[in-house]
A and B are shown apart, each in its own frame.
Chain A
């Protein structure tokens, strides 16, 4: 059987679309299942075989709101995510600028070392950080989360900004210097406007990572500074059924960041794939 070149191309194109849809469904399924389970009763949530069609209930959402102050946790998530991102950007922008335009002998090594700190398991430094936070009177405060989240995301933000800044032709900066620009003016009037998209996508990525952080949020907070990830963790039970209520708490916790990510997806994808096809 002869398949023409045009048909072959069409089949290839459709196969790619099918593969993309399959992958998208696989990635989306856990979120779909979480949302679906949040509308089930506890008995329906553990039903074997699993139920796809059932009479939905909003009971789990009202239980979550009754038992936990959702808005307090959401506000904490908002403050810590944005606070840590701003704090990290304040440090990362000048550092990345200096490394991109005035590289030293060890710039590459420093960048690699910064990235290597991401490979350390967080639990390895739990005790020293806990003791430091305790000594500084910062346990169960948003301040400690802002500091930790910022430090945690700093290497990624640094790398993203460094890659963006490297794309700016150095001739533009030389010209501005000849016109009498100070370092601060150069950063403010030349570098930042030219790489605004990169700074925004690094910031967005940092917000998403901070929002989803659970380890430090659970370990360093108690009653006051808990974020939405701590709220989710509180619905796991060693003795008793909890899947439906846990799913409702997770849906409420994920909803804001999913909506946020949806609106910012263009910038996020741009930031994550920058420099990938050189």
Chain B
């Protein structure tokens, strides 16, 4: 019996010791399951071949879990990940807190080739803390065949009034076609990402110069009423539960006349293997109400090296490889030019092979270049960010407000009540955090 206990104890200690040992030369990369990331995984062999001794392990998670995991790990300096996929919301905040390594690359990387909006959005105090892997803005994707049949056209820079008219003209509920599909699912990155850009263009802002929430302003009221009215009359049933993927499924099935969402969606809706309407989709810039400022969002999925990693040199090498011009060329040659990660480098939009493969390239670049996180509202604000305010409290506030907006869209609460409750929640959070 004693012998058995000793064997058991010995095995347990060995198991702990062996499993806790850090494998030198092994990089653990945390990422989301997006198409471009999957392509990166499949091409990792090229990096490993060029860098003998470095092996890359992937941890792929859904967006919410990834955010929770990397936040926990970075805040506790857990060191589970050597490279993290983070967004434009986290990068400047975490960089300023010293949670991320500042990124410095060799001259061949050509850091000046990065689109200025992306570079600025991922920097803090003049230091780049995450390298953009792919970037996006938002724009209109619409069914040209339906619009032509209705005798209408779509200008390159439409107003919300024109979008409403177009939605009305394209709606054919008897045949299951809805004029417009927009996000309604609650979440700071879901319905509030879209609604914030819409509210920006109606002249609204999240906070005034003294950090006081402005959700009870007439501009917010006007924007949300317009949004609810638009989707109630011309949107598909159950819009309050729709996010990117739900609408992507609807538009690919030919059920939506128009969709205003991430530019990355263009590569899906124009792909005949995924979409039944690939050949009739056209693009325009996000609609404007009273100002063009902040009418289209700006986002980047970027690669960062956490301060807690033991292998920062190898991790930097990987980030440099995955966000380089050479990597974009590699994807183009191996996977096709329609599959290259876009929205990060000027050189991508000068590449004739890419321009020939992607009919959305011009609209996408125009949208990205027109978004400015430091000047995204008509009236001045103390925060950075187009579809979010770059402060730690925004996740909680954005999600709470998103739930109210979703309820207003579902018709369980009036827009006025939803905005009043949102204002109250935002005020409570900001006072608690000591902003005023």
Contacts and interface: CB of A to CB of B under 8 A. Distances in A.
A126 B60 CA distance: 20
B16 A141 contact: yes
A143 B62 CA distance: 25
Contacts of A219: 65, 68-69, 72
B244 to A, nearest CB: 5
B311 interface: no
A43 B19 CA distance: 42
A222 B28 contact: yes
Nearest to B37: A237
B62 A237 contact: yes
B244 A239 contact: yes
A70 interface: no
Name the residue among B33, B41, B65 with the largest chain A CB count within 10 angstroms. B33
A183 to B, nearest CB: 13
Contacts of A238: 32-34, 62-63, 244-245
Q: Could you tell me the dominant secondary structure of chain A's interface residues?
A: loop
A140 B274 CA distance: 37
Interface string A64-91: 0001000000000000000000000000
Nearest to A240: B35
B72 A127 contact: yes
B2 to A, nearest CB: 13
B249 A224 contact: no
Interface in A233-275: 233-242
Nearest to B12: A143
| Interface range for B | 35 or more
A139 B78 CA distance: 8
A218 B76 CA distance: 17
B248 interface: yes
A130 B76 contact: yes
A239 B190 CA distance: 11
A192 interface: no
A241 B248 contact: yes
A237 B65 CA distance: 11
A48 B19 contact: no
Interface in A208-239: 218-219, 222-226, 233-239
Interface stretch (B91-99, B262-270, B336-344): B262-270
B354 to A, nearest CB: 20
Given A134-B78, A239-B265, A222 B30 contact: yes
Contacts of B60: 234-235
Name the residue among A138, A143, A239 with the largest chain B CB count within 10 angstroms. A239
A234 B244 contact: no
Given A126-B72, A237-B33, A47 B268 contact: no
A240 B37 CA distance: 12
Interface of A: 42-43, 46-48, 67, 126-127, 130-131, 134, 136-143, 218-219, 222-226, 233-242
Given A142-B15, A143-B12, A237-B34, 8 more contacts: A136-B20, A143-B16, A219-B72, A222-B57, A234-B33, A239-B245, A240-B248, A242-B33
17 contacts: A43-B252, A43-B273, A43-B274, A43-B275, A46-B253, A48-B253, A137-B16, A222-B57, A222-B81, A223-B26, A236-B33, A237-B32, A240-B34, A240-B35, A240-B248, A240-B268, A241-B248
6 A-B pairs closest in CB distance: A223-B57, A141-B19, A137-B20, A236-B62, A234-B60, A46-B249
